[in-house]
Amino acid sequence: METTLSLAQVITNINHDFWPLFPELFLLSAASILLMIDVFSVDMDRKLSYNLAQFILLVTGIIIVFQFPTSQDFLYHRHFIHDPLSATLKISMVVLTSIALMFARPYILQRRILRGEYYLLHLFSLLGMMLLVSGSSLLSLYLGLELMSLCLYALVAMNRRDKLSAEAAVKYFVMGAIASGFILYGISFVYGVTGQIHLADIAAFLNDNEASLTLRFALVFIVTGLAFKFGAVPFQMWVPDVYHGAPTSTTVFLASAPKVAAFGLAIRILVFGFAGVLVDWQNLLIILAVSSMLVGNLVALAQTNIKRLLAYSAIAHIGYFLLGLIAGNTQGYAASLFYILTYAITALGGFGCLIYMAKGRQEVDRIDDLKGLGQRNPWAGLLVSFLFLSMAGLPPFVGFWAKLEVIKAVLNVDGLIWLALVAAFMSIIGLFYYLKVVKVIFFDKAEVETRIRAERSLRLGLGITSIAVIALGLFPTQLLEFCQKAFQYI
């Protein structure tokens, strides 16, 4: 009888502790097996590695969906949290990574880029993101952040023979190391003041004690590190160079899934840990948001390089996204999640269209390279235009609803009406450079009359992202409710 009870207890413990971590354990194990398979593979195109990587992502996503939590549980000495927010972010990142690989395969096949390692770095980076969004202590958050970042540094440097790529990798590595140093320095001060590394314990300390000057000093360092990771002004200097210099297939990934992970990092630290000093980090985020919207939109107006235009556009979008966090309530957090998910989808397609149009090893760099796309390939021209119009925030595309939700969240906060007006005005400025791209696609004469013939995976990836911005724009309520449910325990 005792043996039966102990066995039942063991099974119960395994279900309670092991099952929530199963997606990460499966991803780690499967990626390690794929690494060994790739080592002994004689297939130069690494088709098997690509197919297995997509299969691993599919199974990981299915596991997350089947174990989607209905409660908030703290596991492994409270270093790991299993809640609807983490599951929502994980599902999103798995889907974004899978689509990014669809765009990446044709690109790297045409260039002398290490192929098997390329897929593996995506998987290990995703593993870091999944651990990051499930971190409930400063230690587990930092470990997840570093695993994600180290893989991204390598991905940016994959095209070793390209000088721009090497330069971008060095800049990204140095700036990323500085950002990690800022966050770690802030964490050390937090631990020194509170004696705690768990976010719940830090929140409890702030409820019982007034925040000291040292703790506010630590918060400045942490928010600065987060601003580096997001690419918010005045810590945006790496974004245009890295987006431009990195292989376009890497930029596709860099502009999507890691942004969602960075959102999870911000929510865990600021909302779960430092809600007691909301006014302090709220003021810091206001400065970052206004600066990012202003600099991102104005500098984007002067760009002739399409990748740099999208980079400065990303900086401006970070400014809009921060509005929801500034609101400091559940409605605002849900609006920010809604915004970052919709932006990740459109950015994925926006950079993916540059791969779609590339001919062989020739890159699409200038906005003028899009001339006549609507005449040469009307369907592709229409899909690409949908993505840029969604980024501009025009109805009926999902980008309109995303901007509307974050602006509404700010309007509901006393004293922040001026911030909503700034965001609306900056959105009008952003229309100019987005509509300029659409004008080039449909109204400028093509310099080359040859019809574009893209790989099937490129057509699929572009179709998924473009149709998604229309479908979510016509039916935004479902995604917004999904985002709101993620914050039901805050």
Please report the pLDDT score of residue 99 as a whole number.
Answer: 92
Burial category of 448 from C-beta neighbours within 10 Å (exposed 0-12, middle 13-18, buried 19 and up):
exposed
Nearest to 252 by CA among 150, 347, 128, 125: 347
Please report the pLDDT score of residue 32 as a whole number.
Answer: 92
Say if residue 112's pLDDT is above 80.
no
- Torsion, Cα 344 346 351 352, to 10 degrees, reads 100
Say if residue 129's pLDDT is above 90.
yes
Domain residue spans of the chain? 19-486
Question: Cα(first)–Cα(last) distance of the chain, in Å?
Answer: 42
Instruction: Encode pLDDT of 395-433 as tens digits.
Output: 888 889 999 999 999 998 888 899 999 999 999 998 888
Cα separation, 472 vs 286, in Å, equals: 28
Please report the pLDDT score of residue 367 as a whole number.
Answer: 82
Range 44-67 average pLDDT: 89
Residue 258's alpha-carbon distances to 70, 90, 146, 191, 472, in angstroms, are 25, 11, 12, 27, 21
Say if residue 278's pLDDT is above 90.
no
For the chain, give the mean pLDDT.
Answer: 86
Q: Band the pLDDT of 288: cuts 50, 70, 90.
A: very high
The answer to whether the beta carbons of residues 380 and 343 sit under 8 Å apart is: no
Return the amino acid letter for 188: S
Say if residue 1's pLDDT is above 50.
no
Q: Identify the residue with better confidence: 114 or 376.
A: 376
- Torsion, Cα 160 364 397 126, to 10 degrees, reads -10
Say if residue 12's pLDDT is above 70.
no
Q: What percent of the chain has pLDDT over 70?
A: 94
Instruction: Encode pLDDT of 450-488 as tens digits.
Output: 666 667 778 888 888 888 888 888 888 888 888 888 888
Cα separation, 483 vs 340, in Å, equals: 11
Q: Band the pLDDT of 162: cuts 50, 70, 90.
A: confident
b/e 373-405 (16+ beta carbons within 10 angstroms → b): bbbbbeebbebbbbbbbbbbbbeebbbbbbbbb
Instruction: Encode pLDDT of 332-353 as tens digits.
Output: 899 999 999 999 999 998 888 8
Range 234-260 average pLDDT: 89
Task: Tell me how long the chain is.
Answer: 490
List all residues 6 or more positions away from 6 whose beta carbon is below 8 Å from its beta carbon: none
The answer to whether the beta carbons of residues 352 and 255 sit under 8 Å apart is: no
Range 49-78 average pLDDT: 89
Please report the pLDDT score of residue 14 as a whole number.
Answer: 60
Cα separation, 182 vs 269, in Å, equals: 14
Instruction: Encode pLDDT of 179-217 as tens digits.
Output: 999 999 999 999 988 888 989 889 888 888 887 888 888
Q: What percent of the chain has pLDDT over 90?
A: 32
